[in-house]
């Protein structure tokens, strides 16, 4: 679980939300220039954006209402120092101080980022990050920040994502200042940025008015293992901290940007690989970069799977067709969160904040005036669950800053991508809280307990039946029901079974391959946590080509004593199909125990057996102690206690493998009820029940049995501990999933609303 003081926050950056006004005294920065040059999507700019400099009061109030407790935001360097150095813009100081006070008034802890990409244009004109003077410039800016805000704020981050502003800004040129520089120059820029970070740490501490805590917020796609094998984990780690990128894309690197800051040296592998491009790196430089730091930040959005190849070397694994993506086309990879956090913690041994994580979606205002963003909720749920697991497995995770609160100016993509949990109508500046924000609120309030991982998953549990071969069995389970099973003596399909003589496995989904008996033990919540030591029911389809033996079952008390603790067997049948003039055996004609014993011992079967006519759709309840037998030609769905105890009274003198099957005459006489229950009490027709309804056919202490005849649509609430269903005819959609004849499945506890549409016949049961 997350720590009690976990910082549940949102993140933003100054340029992406602030906007400006003519009187604010803000200096020009490289993104102003970049947008003026028309290098952003549809010529858009951020002169208004979310108009945050005028609307922060309302926005912080909204954060409070949504229970957000921490806010990572950035200061605009050129707003504070319009020329980058020198004269301070007092209006900016006043603005940011008021913002911080307002945050605090709303119960929000401020986390300040010094640099989130809007480099002052005046300093860009003097060479920008390539000029080594930037170390002094950034140091001066840090001093001004410490002097003016450290009395109000305890937490600071120096740089946001140097990988991006070095690479996208100076190598590929898709971000401001839009340069495509020599590789060598970009190494100089990176080295300068790291030194500037060190200088900022020194000055923040030196000029701070109280004890402050400082971190750093790099990023990178995460190499995560394709499987949990030791080899794949090692391979992924090797790539994550290694140097696998081509040189013209070298800046996407973890170790190069983090080892110097956290460990005090550039990684050896990189020093070797990049030697021809490196600037002069001195001992003093490394000391400057390696300032004591309180925590690491990391922005993680996604990653890529890696495995160990045959030669032990890492191999990149391609994503499956149709893999989940964000609106920005970034892959959805919660595994990256788990493994990234673990790998970073193991290497750097520092407390960690996720300084950014989130998802862009094509959000839209619905007719109800709200913004429904289920994809974002799912994304956040999976990522936060992964984070929680990484934390449980040893990483020291202190906080999470969701990117981002408001939809905003997404750099070169302009307003084309929406990352917010609050929708912004850029024409009117109206804010609409998206569903994801309400969801996040619940997660915060429960300190993570509301995450999916902490809730019982309730998927439909489809089962792989087990089949038995019997002397009286036929082929209809294959020919009518389509089960793939060989032989012409297939007697029984154990559609829902968790018995030692036949234990079904789960067919698909998160529990795929698990035995039903195992699931019953491991996930009792799926079955309503009922206090029974084994799965209580057994559902079979029986195809009797020939007559079954005349038999009887014991009750619980008898079975417990005489059958090794087994359940007794109460059962019932629903006749799926039978010929005209079909019959079966139910009950007997003996009036006393003595007569019963005589009839059996003397083989007076004609007198003894009570055979009755039956029709398709009949429902027959068979209490323990009831003599019964299924006759040839019948196809039956049987719902019974989870037991396999049968006492054979008479087997028509048949031979199986040349020998008569075992009879259990004395035990039968022990358990047979005398006199037998009347026929009327045992049999009723269930051929026609009310359509589109869960109709109860029978209820006893062991089970309730229902029939559904679906013709069109129906819905109901699954409110039983669990509900077993066997489809006997037709097909339909159950909450979007196709079910068809021959399917057996369980709707677990808490499954909720069941919507069915189609045409089918189901026998359902529960306890
Ligand atoms: C940046 C943000 C950006 C987000 C989404 C991060 O790399 O720090 O400024 O909006 O990604 O692209």
Structure-block tokens of residue 677: 């229950």
Which amino acid residue places its CA nearest to atom 10 of ligand 1?
Answer: 410
Residues in a beta bridge with 762: 708, 727
- With 90 as the cut, is the pLDDT of residue 457 above it? no
Instruction: Tell me: do 312 and 177 sit in the same domain.
Output: yes
608 CA → ligand 1 middle, Å: 84
Tens of pLDDT, residues 471-500: 999 999 999 999 999 999 999 999 999 999
CA distances 7 to 10, 68, 181, 383, 444, Å, are 10, 9, 39, 16, 9
| Domain final position from 454, 473, 508 | 454
Number of domains in the chain: 2
Residues whose CB falls within 8 Å of the CB of residue 275, separated by 6 or more in sequence, listed in order: none
In a domain, 599, yes or no: yes
Where would I find the H helices in 432-591?
A: 435-445, 476-479, 516-522, 556-562
Which tokens sit at 121? 């244009």
The whole-number average pLDDT for the span 616-635 is: 96
What distances in angstroms separate CA 492 from CA 110, 537, 621, 627, one per listed residue? 67, 15, 19, 20
Ligand 1 centre to CA of 80 (Å) is: 22
- Which of 651, 670, 685 is the C-terminal boundary of a domain? 685
User: 449 and 561 in one domain?
Assistant: no
pLDDT category at 682 given cuts 50, 70, 90 is confident
Share of the chain above pLDDT 70, in %: 100
Q: Is residue 613 part of a domain?
A: yes
Residue 509 belongs to a domain:
no
Contact yes or no for 590/596 (Cβ under 8 A): yes
CA distances from 428 to 53, 129, 432, 485, 566 (A): 16, 37, 11, 66, 72
Is 536 part of any domain? no
Residue 416 lies in a domain: yes
Q: For the chain, give the mean pLDDT.
A: 97
- Ligand 1 pocket: which of 356, 419, 420 to mutate (most atoms within 8 A of CB): 356
Which CATH number do you get for residue 593? Answer: 2.60.120.10
557 and 450 assigned to the same domain: no
Exposure b/e, 635-650, CB count within 10 A at least 16 = b:
bbbbbbbbbbbebbbb
Give the whole-angstrom CA distance, residue 697 versus residue 678: 18
Q: Write down the pLDDT at residue 680.
A: 86
- pLDDT tens by residue, 636-675: 999 999 999 999 999 998 888 899 999 999 999 999 999 9
The arithmetic mean of pLDDT across residues 281-303, rounded, is: 98
In a shared domain, residues 79 and 211:
yes
Please provide residue 50's backbone torsions phi and psi, each rounded to the nearest 5 degrees.
Answer: -95, 5
Q: Does residue 73 share a domain with residue 215?
A: yes
Which of the four pLDDT bands, split at 50, 70 and 90, describes residue 242?
very high
Instruction: Confirm if 49 and 18 have CB atoms less than 8 A apart.
Output: yes
Q: Are residues 449 and 553 in the same domain?
A: no
pTM equals 0.87
Domain termination site, one of 665, 685, 705 = 685
Residue 537 forms part of a structural domain:
no
325: left (phi over 0), alpha (psi -120 to 50) or beta: beta
Token pair recorded at residue 638? 């049987």
Given the structure tokens 């389809």, which residue do they identify?
541
The verdict on residue 488 lying in a domain is no
Pair (177, 317) in one structural domain? yes
Ligand 1-lining residues (CB < 6 angstroms)? 13, 16, 160-161, 164, 219, 299, 356, 403, 410, 419
CATH of the domain at 358: 3.20.20.80
| Structure token digits, residue 761 | 């016949």
Q: What is the DSSP string of 81-124?
A: STTSSSS--HHHHHHHHHHHHHHHHTT-EEEEEEESS--BHHHH
What does the pLDDT read at residue 656?
Answer: 84
Residues identified as active-site: 356
257 in a structural domain: yes
Range of the domain at 74: 7-454
């Amino acid at each position: 679980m997350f720590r009690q003081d976990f910082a549940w926050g949102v993140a933003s950056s100054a340029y992406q939300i602030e906007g400006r006004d003519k009187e604010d005294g803000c200096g020009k920065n490289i993104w102003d220039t970049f947008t003026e040059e028309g290098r952003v999507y549809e010529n858009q700019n951020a002169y208004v954006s979310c108009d945050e400099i005028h609307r922060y009061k309302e926005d912080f109030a909204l954060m409070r209402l949504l229970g957000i407790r921490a806010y990572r935001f950035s200061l605009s360097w050129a707003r504070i120092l319009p020329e980058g150095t020198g004269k301070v813009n007092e209006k900016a100081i006043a603005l940011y101080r008021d913002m911080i006070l307002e945050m605090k008034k709303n119960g929000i802890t401020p986390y300040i980022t010094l640099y989130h990409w809007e480099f002052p244009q005046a300093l860009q004109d003097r060479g920008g990050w390539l000029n080594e003077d930037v170390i002094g410039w950034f140091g001066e800016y840090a001093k001004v920040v410490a002097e003016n805000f450290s009395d109000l704020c305890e937490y600071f981050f120096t740089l946001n994502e140097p990988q991006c502003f070095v690479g996208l800004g100076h190598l590929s040129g898709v971000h401001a200042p839009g340069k495509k520089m020599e590789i060598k120059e970009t190494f100089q820029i990176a080295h300068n940025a790291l030194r500037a970070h060190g200088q900022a740490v020194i000055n923040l501490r030196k000029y701070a008015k109280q004890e402050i805590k400082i971190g750093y917020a790099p990023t990178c796609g995460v190499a995560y293992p394709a499987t949990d094998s030791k080899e794949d984990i090692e391979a992924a780690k090797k790539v994550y901290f290694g140097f696998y990128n081509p040189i013209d894309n070298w800046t996407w690197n973890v170790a190069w940007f983090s080892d110097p800051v956290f460990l005090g040296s550039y990684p050896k592998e990189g020093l070797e690989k990049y030697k021809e491009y490196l600037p002069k790196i001195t001992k003093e430089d490394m000391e400057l970069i390696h300032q004591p730091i309180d925590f690491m930040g990391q922005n993680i959005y996604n990653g890529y799977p890696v495995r160990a190849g045959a030669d032990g070397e890492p191999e990149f694994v391609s994503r499956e067709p149709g893999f989940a993506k964000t609106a920005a086309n970034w892959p959805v990879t919660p595994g990256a969160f788990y493994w990234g956090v673990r790998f970073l913690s193991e290497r750097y041994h520092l407390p960690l904040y996720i300084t950014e994580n989130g998802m862009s979606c094509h959000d839209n205002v619905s007719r109800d005036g709200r913004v429904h963003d289920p994809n974002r909720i799912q994304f956040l749920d999976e990522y936060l669950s992964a984070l929680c697991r990484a934390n449980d497995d040893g990483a020291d995770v202190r906080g999470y800053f969701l990117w981002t609160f408001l939809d905003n100016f997404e750099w070169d993509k302009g307003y084309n991508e929406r990352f917010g949990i609050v929708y912004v109508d850029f024409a009117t500046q109206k804010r609409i809280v998206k569903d994801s924000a309400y969801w996040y609120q619940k997660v915060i309030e429960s300190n993570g307990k509301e995450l999916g991982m902490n809730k019982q998953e309730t998927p439909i549990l489809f089962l792989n039946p087990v089949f038995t071969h019997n002397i009286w069995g036929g082929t209809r389970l294959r020919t009518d029901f389509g089960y793939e099973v060989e032989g012409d003596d297939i007697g029984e399909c154990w559609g829902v079974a968790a018995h030692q003589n036949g234990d079904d496995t789960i067919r698909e989904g998160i529990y795929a391959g698990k035995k039903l008996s195992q699931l019953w033990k491991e996930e009792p919540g799926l079955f309503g946590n009922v206090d029974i030591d084994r799965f209580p029911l057994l559902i079979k389809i029986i195809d009797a080509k020939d007559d079954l033996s005349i038999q009887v079952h014991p009750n619980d008390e008898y079975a417990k004593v005489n059958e090794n603790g087994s359940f007794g067997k109460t059962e019932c049948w629903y006749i799926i199909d039978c010929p005209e003039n079909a019959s079966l055996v139910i009950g007997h004609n003996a009036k006393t125990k003595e007569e019963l014993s005589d009839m059996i011992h003397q083989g007076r079967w004609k007198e003894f057996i009570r055979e009755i006519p039956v029709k398709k759709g009949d429902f027959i309840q068979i209490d323990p102690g009831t003599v019964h037998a299924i006759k040839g030609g019948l196809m039956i769905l049987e719902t019974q206690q989870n037991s396999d105890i049968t006492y054979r009274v008479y087997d028509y003198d048949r031979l199986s493998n040349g020998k008569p099957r075992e009879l259990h005459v004395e035990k039968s006489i022990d358990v047979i009820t005398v006199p037998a229950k009347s026929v009327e009490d045992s049999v009723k027709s269930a051929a026609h029940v009310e359509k589109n309804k869960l109709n109860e056919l029978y209820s006893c202490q062991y089970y309730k049995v229902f029939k559904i005849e679906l013709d069109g649509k129906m819905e109901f609430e699954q409110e039983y501990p669990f509900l077993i269903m066997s489809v006997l005819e037709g097909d339909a959609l159950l909450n979007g999933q196709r079910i068809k004849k021959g399917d057996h499945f369980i709707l677990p506890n808490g499954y909720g609303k069941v919507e069915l549409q189609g045409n089918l016949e189901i026998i359902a049961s529960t306890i």
